[in-house]
Chains A and B, each alone.
Chain A
Amino acid sequence: MVRLLAALVGIFFSGMLLYSFGSGAVAYISEPPAPTAEHESHLHPKEVDWSFNGPLGHYDKVQLQRGFQVFKEVCSACHSLRLVAFRDLKALGYEDPEIKAIAKNWAIKAPDVDPKTGEASTRPAVPADHFPMPFANDVAARAANNNAIPPDLSLMTKARHDGSNYVYSLITGFQPQPKELLKEFPDAKTPEGLHYNPYFANLNIAMAPPLTAEGQVTYGPGQPKPTVDQMAKDVAAFLTWTAEPKMENRKSAGLAVVFFLLVATVLAYMSYQTIWAGKKH
């Protein structure tokens, strides 16, 4: 009885599936899915040889400081970094007084409440504050940015596939829309106010090219030339750190743990062999 019922259920489901497959296959062959502009033109991020790649990779603190400078002078005008506090900058090699000064002089003031009237007010940030938001709310953010909200960047490199490469590729990927693409897909013309970028999922991004000229940010003495490419790499490295600030702790702990486990496993194997010695199995 069980087997009969089972066979009937099996025939029903398998039959339905094979029927669906058959009609799907007919449709697929008679009317192959049309290629889309996204499918044809979307590019995977460019590979960068980051200092933090691989199991032994470390952040390059000097690079992170340059990246922070790019964030501060360019990105922070529109993008927030709400999960990161000024005090966290210590990991980039800044000293306490420097962090105090960075917080105090930050262009956007920290929100506060007037202690006398209770009205909303602002004050200079302190190291314990997170980076203040550039816009009061989403409506204000949309109003100032052509109806698109500049996303928070704290986790950006973990919130996209291949994030560090993606951020670098996106920033350096702005270009005029290729003529061949328009010829093939006339509907795919980049709308007014958007910008063509093949690294962006739907090819048209609201953000204007943020880094446009060499020397847009002035790097300190002894640093590499601030080309667009260099600045993009630096800020992508900085955002990798904001997304994964404990990466170095993680990798060094991992090496110790795996080494310990290797030794323990060899010992476990030897005791297994010893205990089973003389016992065929």
Chain B
Amino acid sequence: MSFPWAEHYSPTHPLMKWVDDRLPLPRFVYNAVGAGYPVPRNLNYFWNFGVLSGVALTIQIVTGIILAMHYGSNAGVAFDSVEHIMRDVNGGWLLRYAHANGASFFFIVVYLHIFRGLFYGSYKAPREMVWLLGLVIFLLMMATAFMGYVLPWGQMSFWGAKVITGLFGAIPVVGEPIQTWLLGGFAPGNAALNRFFSLHFLLPFVIAAVIILHIWALHIPGSSNPTGVEVKGPQDTVPFHPYYTAKDGFGLGVFLIVYCLVLFFGPNALGHPDNYIPANPMSTPAHIVPEWYFWPFYAILRAFTFDFFFIPAKLLGVMAMFASILLLFVLPWLDTSPVRSGNYRPLFKKFFWLLVIDVLILGYCGGAPAAEPFVMISQVAAAYYFAHFLIILPIVSRIERPLPLPNSITASVLHQDSYEGEREALPGMGADTQPAQPGLAH
């Protein structure tokens, strides 16, 4: 698809030939995630997280569809139907814990995937569309996760729904009618629960569709790599299958081990105890907090404590929270450095790690009670967050002197081993064409 030396699909089995002539679906898969997709040979483990995100989505869809067979999306029965799943449905506890923790792990791998992209400049030309579609997926994920958290109809479900839809209520003049319209009432109730369930069922399939676009857009220029230097020839790439299917298989194993350790031995560690109390509109929890993956944004929302002339603090917080995500959409045009990889950008690298620490601090403050000193800390952290993307990055790209880039991916891979490097520098004589020696460590 992307490079002229990509391997071509040539079925040998008559049945596959017959199918391929009539519907080239096998060919499509072969070119998308098979041997027909050439990938840079130097990808590190951070490149596993795209595949892992896809696996996490699949886990969510499979467990979610079965859960939906036993769940009742009515405010009168929702809480008890979840407990019915936990107690009386065969393997129901496994399905529900897999789904609830699966959401957390989906966000863990997606956040790692996003920070991988931030560090290695994956959002830069010619991959802006890949980045933009990824952000669309991220927004859809957030909406889906939020609505999913409402479904058990516990205390945090109810009050979380009230707070988040209340964000729209901060919009001047039209805010309150919009909030009422979104909820189908003046407070979260049966109408809201039903529409959230319907949308929670729909959106994962929309996500799956946008993922197809995301991969399609990726395959036009091909995958980026840790050097950020573009592929120059066949020696720079390996076929996705079997090379990266094997590597992803190992990454998947590690991911599943960590996921299952939490799922089987601490399934409630990432949740909030209040959601085991049935929703009660008459009793407000002491601290309303969303799920952990929203904490950084929740901290930004709460960091605004002052009105700006006619703009109330609450509206400022809402604007800032949305801006904190939307600004990522213009990132490819803010970071103008021609060098992609953070490995060759000494100044950028420092600010990048500062950003990582900053987001972790924001996350901690977002989960903490809305009291001092957490509000002050999140104000400083949120200020850095905006400054990082909107002020510092454009300046850094302008003043920074990047380190010299390797000539090619192959050169960077082989630079420590001049003997192999010389061999591979000659076309047709490289290690690529050596007969494979299974079991021999390189």
Contact = CB atoms under 8 A, between A and B. Distances in A.
Given A33-B371, A83-B80, A279-B238, A10 B387 contact: yes
A272 B262 CA distance: 26
A160 B273 contact: yes
A281 B277 contact: no
B257 A261 contact: yes
Given A17-B386, A245-B87, A280-B414, A271 B375 contact: no
A268 B246 contact: yes
B250 A20 contact: no
25 contacts: A2-B334, A3-B334, A3-B336, A9-B386, A9-B390, A10-B387, A10-B389, A13-B382, A14-B391, A18-B383, A24-B379, A155-B277, A159-B273, A159-B276, A159-B277, A261-B256, A268-B249, A271-B246, A275-B242, A278-B437, A278-B442, A279-B442, A280-B414, A281-B42, A281-B413
Interface of A: 2-3, 6-7, 9-11, 13-14, 16-21, 23-25, 28, 33, 55, 83, 88, 151, 154-155, 158-161, 163, 201, 243, 245-246, 249-251, 253-255, 257-258, 261-262, 264-265, 268-269, 271-281
A272 B373 contact: no
A249 B417 CA distance: 53
B21 interface: no
Interface stretch (B108-116, B298-306, B348-356): B298-306
A24 B249 CA distance: 51
B264 A6 contact: no
Contact of B442 (A163, A201, A280): A280
Closest 5 CB pairs of A and B: A254-B264, A10-B390, A265-B253, A159-B276, A21-B379
Contacts of A257: 260, 264
B63 to A, nearest CB: 15
Contact of A250 (B261, B267, B336): B267
A83 B87 contact: yes
A255 B260 CA distance: 9
B286 A254 contact: no
Contact of A7 (B41, B394, B440): B394
Nearest to A156: B276
A265 B256 CA distance: 9
Given A159-B277, A276-B246, A6 B440 contact: no
B25 to A, nearest CB: 26
A23 B313 CA distance: 14
Given A17-B386, A28-B373, A258-B257, A7 B379 contact: no
B249 A279 contact: no
- Among A20, A151, A250, A255, the most chain B Cβ lie within 10 Å of the Cβ of A20
Given A245-B87, A254-B265, A268-B246, A261 B253 contact: yes
A239 to B, nearest CB: 12
Contact of B250 (A158, A163, A268): A268
**Main SS class of interface, A:** helix
Given A155-B277, A261-B253, 19 more contacts: A2-B334, A3-B336, A13-B383, A21-B379, A83-B83, A155-B276, A243-B276, A250-B264, A261-B260, A265-B250, A265-B254, A268-B246, A272-B250, A276-B247, A277-B439, A277-B442, A278-B431, A278-B434, A280-B417
Contacts of A158: 268, 273, 276
Interface in B301-352: 303-306, 308, 316, 320, 323, 327, 330, 333-334, 336
A269 B391 CA distance: 43
A80 B382 CA distance: 46
B380 A21 contact: yes
A37 B45 CA distance: 51
Interface string B87-100: 10000011001000
Contacts of A28: 372-373, 376
A268 B242 CA distance: 12
- Among B273, B274, B277, the most chain A Cβ lie within 10 Å of the Cβ of B273
A249 to B, nearest CB: 7
Interface string B269-306: 00001101100000000100000000000000001111
B418 to A, nearest CB: 12
Contacts of B286: 201
B252 interface: yes
A280 B425 CA distance: 13
A250 B93 contact: yes
Contact of B303 (A7, A17, A254, A255): A17
Contacts of B414: 280
Contacts of A13: 320, 323, 382-383, 386, 390
B253 to A, nearest CB: 3
B263 interface: yes
A7 B390 contact: yes
- Among A83, A249, A261, A262, the most chain B Cβ lie within 10 Å of the Cβ of A261
A267 to B, nearest CB: 8
Given A159-B273, A277-B442, A20 B253 contact: no
Contact of B420 (A254, A276, A277, A280): A280
Contacts of B373: 28
A9 B323 contact: yes
B320 A10 contact: no
B277 to A, nearest CB: 5
A274 B383 contact: no
A158 B79 CA distance: 14
B432 interface: yes
Interface in B38-54: 41-43
Given A11-B391, A258-B264, A275-B246, A281 B41 contact: yes
B264 A24 contact: no
Interface string B113-133: 000000000000000000000
Contact of A16 (B304, B334, B390, B441): B304
Contacts of B267: 250
Nearest to A277: B440
A10 B386 contact: yes
Contact of B394 (A3, A160, A281): A3
Given A10-B389, A278-B434, A258 B250 contact: no
Nearest to A166: B273
